[in-house]
Structure 1
Amino acid sequence: MSRPLLLGLLGLGLLAGCWLLGGWRGAAASYLSAWLVLLALPVGALPITIVAERFGKRVRERGGVEMLAALRRLMALMPVAALLGLPLLAAVPVLYPWVGAAPRTPLAALWFTTPFFAARVIAYLAAWTWLAFRFARPFDEPGEGRTVPAVGLHAVVGTLFTTDVIASLDPRLDSALLGLLVMTAWSGLAFAAAILLAWEEPEPVGRGRTPPGRGRLVPLVVLLGLWAFLHFVQFLIVWSANLPPEVSWYFARGGGLGRGLSIAAGIVVVLAGLATLRPGRPTTRILAGAALAVHALEMFWLVTPALRDRFVIRPADGLAALAVACLAAALHLLLRGRPAPTARRAGRVA
Structure 2
Amino acid sequence: MTLAGAVTCGVGGFHDLGRLGYAYLTAYLCWLSLPVGGLFLVMVEHLVEARWSVPLRRLAEHLAGLSMGLAVLWLPLAALAPRVYGWMQSPALSPELSVQAKAGLLNRPVWYGLSLGILGLWSLLGWRLRAVSVQQDRCGSAAYTRQLRVLSVVGLIGLAVTVPLGAVLWAMSLQPGWCSAVYGVYYFVGSVWVTVATVYGLATVLKRAGPLAQALGPRQFHDLGTLWFGFTMLYAYVHFVQYFVIWNGNIPEHTWWYVQRQQGTWAWVGLALVGGHFLVPFLVLIRRDTKLNWAVTLPLVGWCGLMHYLDVAFNVLPAQPSGPRSSFQVVDLGCVAFMAGVLGLAWLKAFSACAPMPLRDRRLNMALELSPPEALDRLSSAASPKP
* TM-score interval, smaller chain: 0.7 to 0.9
How do 1:15-164 and structure 2 match up within 5 A? Answer: 15-20=9-14, 23-56=16-49, 58-59=50-51, 62=52, 64-99=53-88, 100=90, 102-103=92-93, 108-136=102-130, 137-138=132-133, 139-141=144-146, 145-164=150-169
Note the alpha carbon deviations across 1:27-52, whole angstroms, 9 max, x for none: 10001101112211112111111001
Cα shift at 1:146: 2.9
User: Who is 2:378 aligned against?
Assistant: none
Give, in angstroms, the shift of residue 149 of structure 1: 2.1
User: How far apart are the structure 1 equivalents of 2:109 and 2:78?
Assistant: 9
Asked if 1:316 is matched to 2:331, the reply is yes
Give 5+ residue unaligned stretches, structure 2: 134-143, 354-387
Give the CA deviation at 1:9: 4.6
Query: Is 1:240 the counterpart of 2:248 in the alignment?
Result: yes
For the structure 1 residues 332 and 65, does the alpha-carbon distance in structure 2 shift closer, same or farther, using more than 3 Å as the test? closer
Task: Map 1:180-219; keep pairs closer than 5 Å.
Answer: 180-198=185-203, 199-200=206-207, 213-219=221-227
Query: Kindly, what percent of the aligned residue pairs are identical?
Result: 22
Change (3 A) 1:314 1:275: farther
Corresponding position: 1:257 with 2:265: no
Indicate conservation of the 8 Å contact 2:4/2:334, yes or no: no
Give the 3 Å change call, closer, same or farther, for CA 231–80 of structure 1 in structure 2. same
Structure 2 CA distance for partners of 1:212 and 1:65, relative to 1, 3 Å: closer
Asked if structure 2 preserves the Cα contact closer than 8 Å seen for 1:42 and 1:74, the reply is yes
Q: In the alignment, is the contact (CA less than 8 A) between 1:228 and 1:269 conserved in 2?
A: no
SS at match of 1:135: helix
1:346 corresponds in structure 2 to none
Residues 285 and 291, structure 2, Cα contact 8 Å, conserved in 1: no
Partner of 2:286: 274
Contact 2:6–2:335 (CA<8 Å) still a contact in 1? no
Q: Tell me which amino acid in the other structure corresponds to 1:240.
A: N
176-185 vs 247-256, which deviates more?
A: 247-256
Provide Cα deviations, 1:142-180, integer angstroms capped at 9, x if missing partner.
775332221110010111111111100023431010001
In structure 1, distance between residues paired with 2:54 and 2:306: 25
Q: Deviations over 1:234-293 (max 9, x none)?
A: 010011101223322112223223322322223224214522476323233343332222
Residues 268, 290 of structure 1: 8 Å contact kept: no
Superimposed CA distance per residue, residues 166-199 of structure 1 (whole angstroms, 9 cap, x where no aligned partner): 1000234310100011011111111111111123
Q: Distance in 2 between matches of 1:187 and 1:67?
A: 15
Structure 1 residue 215: Cα displacement: 1.6
Aligned length: 325
Listed as ranges, the gaps of 5+ residues in structure 1 are: 1-6, 340-350
TM-score for the superposition, normalised by structure 1: 0.82
* Greater alpha carbon shift after TM alignment, 278-287 vs 76-85: 278-287
- Contact (CA 8 Å) 1:212, 1:279: kept in 2 or not? no
Corresponding residue for residue 348 of structure 1: none
Output the CA distance in 2 between the equivalents of 1:240 and 1:52: 38
The partner residue of 2:311 within 279, 298, 305 is 298
Q: Distance in 1 between matches of 2:260 and 2:288?
A: 35
- Partner Cα separation in structure 1 for residue 121 and residue 145 of structure 2: 23
Q: Is the 8 A contact 1:31 1:324 kept in 2?
A: no
Of 247-256 and 231-240, more deviation after overlay is shown by 247-256
Amino acid at match of 2:27: A
Question: Post-superposition shift, 1:8?
Answer: 5.7
TM (norm. structure 2) is 0.75
What is the root-mean-square deviation in Å for CA atoms of aligned residues?
3.1
